[in-house]
Amino acid sequence: MTNYIVVTGGVLSSLGKGITSASVAALLGNSNCRVSMLKIDPYINVDPGTMSPLEHGEVFVTADGGETDLDLGHYERFINSNLSKRNNFTTGQIYQTVIERERRGDYLGKTIQVIPHITDEIVRRIKAAGKDADILVVELGGTVGDIEGLPFYEAVRQMKRQLKHKMFNIHVTLVPYISVADELKTKPTQHSVQELKRIGITPDMLVLRSEKPVPKEMRKKLSVACDVEFESIIEATDAKSIYEMPLKFFDNGILHPIARAFNYDELKPDLREWKKLVKAILEPRREVTIAFVGKYLELKESYKSLIEALTHAGAHTDCKINFRWADSEKLLDEGVEKTLTECDAILVPGGFGTRGIEGKIAAIKYAREHKKVFLGICLGMQLALIEFARNVLKIKDATSQEFDAEAKNPVIYLIDEFIDQTGNKQIRTHCSQFGATMRLGEYECNLLENTLMSKAYGGEKKIFERHRHRYEANAKYRDQFEASGIVVSGEAKGLIEAIELRDHPWFVAVQFHPEFTSRLQSPNRIILAFIENALISAEKRGK
Ligand code: GLN
Residue 332 Cα to ligand 1 middle (Å) = 22
Please list, residue by residue across 213-225, b when 16 or more beta carbons sit within 10 angstroms of its beta carbon and e when fewer do: ebeeebbeebbee
> Do 467 and 443 contact (CB within 8 A), yes or no?
yes
User: How many C-beta atoms lie closer than 10 Å to residue 80's C-beta?
Assistant: 14
> Do 346 and 369 contact (CB within 8 A), yes or no?
no
Whole-angstrom distance, CA of residue 97 vs CA of residue 122: 10
Residue 439 Cα to ligand 1 middle (Å) = 10
Task: Report CA-CA distances (Å) from 270 to 164, 231, 288.
Answer: 29, 22, 31
Residue 471 Cα to ligand 1 middle (Å) = 6
3-state secondary structure at position 399: strand
Task: Return all residues near 37 (Cβ < 8 A) that are at least 6 apart.
Answer: 21, 22, 25, 72, 75, 79, 83, 87, 136, 137, 138, 139
Residue 541 Cα to ligand 1 middle (Å) = 34
User: How many C-beta atoms lie closer than 10 Å to residue 199's C-beta?
Assistant: 15
- Ligand 1 pocket mutation, candidates 67, 375, 377, 379, criterion most atoms within 8 A of CB: 379
| Catalytic hit among 33, 226, 378, 431 | 378
Task: Return all residues near 234 (Cβ < 8 A) that are at least 6 apart.
Answer: 205, 206, 207, 208, 249, 252, 253, 254
Task: Return all residues near 20 (Cβ < 8 A) that are at least 6 apart.
Answer: 7, 170, 172, 207, 236, 245, 249
Whole-angstrom distance, CA of residue 340 vs CA of residue 35: 44
Q: Whose CA is nearest to atom 5 of ligand 1?
A: 379
Pocket of ligand 1 from Cβ distances under 6 Å: 350-352, 378-379, 402, 468-471
Nearest ligand 1 atom to the CA of 415 is 10
**Nearest alpha-carbon partner for 389 in 406, 413, 425, 373:** 413
Whole-angstrom distance, CA of residue 124 vs CA of residue 482: 53
User: How many C-beta atoms lie closer than 10 Å to residue 295's C-beta?
Assistant: 24
Parts of the chain belonging to CATH 3.40.50.880:
284-540
pLDDT at residue 432 in the model? 38
Pairing relationship of beta strands 319-327 and 462-469 according to DSSP bridges = unpaired
Active site residue 74: no
Whole-angstrom distance, CA of residue 373 vs CA of residue 32: 40
> Do 180 and 17 contact (CB within 8 A), yes or no?
no
Whole-angstrom distance, CA of residue 216 vs CA of residue 224: 12
What 3 state SS string does 259-282 have?
HHHCCCCCCCCCCHHHHHHHHHHH
pLDDT at residue 427 in the model? 55
Please list, residue by residue across 153-163, b when 16 or more beta carbons sit within 10 angstroms of its beta carbon and e when fewer do: bbbbbbbbeee
Whole-angstrom distance, CA of residue 171 vs CA of residue 249: 14
Parts of the chain belonging to CATH 3.40.50.300:
3-276
CATH code reported for the domain at 284-540: 3.40.50.880
**Nearest alpha-carbon partner for 190 in 245, 249, 233:** 233
Nearest ligand 1 atom to the CA of 402 is 1
Tell me how many degrees the CA angle 159-161-164 measures, rounded to the nearest 5.
Answer: 95
Whole-angstrom distance, CA of residue 135 vs CA of residue 4: 6
Whole-angstrom distance, CA of residue 310 vs CA of residue 317: 10
Pairing relationship of beta strands 439-447 and 486-492 according to DSSP bridges = antiparallel
- Decide which of 3.40.640.10, 3.10.20.740, 3.30.390.50, 3.40.50.300 is the CATH code for 3-276: 3.40.50.300
- Ligand 1 pocket mutation, candidates 328, 468, 469, criterion most atoms within 8 A of CB: 469
pLDDT at residue 416 in the model? 65
Nearest ligand 1 atom to the CA of 352 is 1
Active site residue 515: yes
Residue 472 Cα to ligand 1 middle (Å) = 9
pLDDT in tens, the chain (543 residues): 899 999 999 988 888 899 999 999 999 999 999 999 999 999 998 887 777 777 778 899 999 998 988 899 999 999 999 999 899 999 999 999 999 999 999 998 899 999 999 999 999 999 999 999 999 999 999 999 999 999 999 999 999 999 888 999 999 999 999 999 999 999 999 999 999 999 999 999 999 999 999 999 999 999 999 999 999 999 999 999 999 999 999 999 999 999 999 999 889 999 999 999 999 999 999 999 999 999 888 788 889 999 999 999 999 999 999 999 999 999 999 999 999 999 999 999 999 999 999 999 999 999 999 999 999 999 999 999 999 999 999 999 999 999 998 999 999 998 765 443 344 554 544 333 333 468 889 999 999 999 999 999 999 999 999 999 999 999 999 999 999 999 999 999 889 999 999 999 999 999 999 999 999 999 999 999 999 999 999 998 775
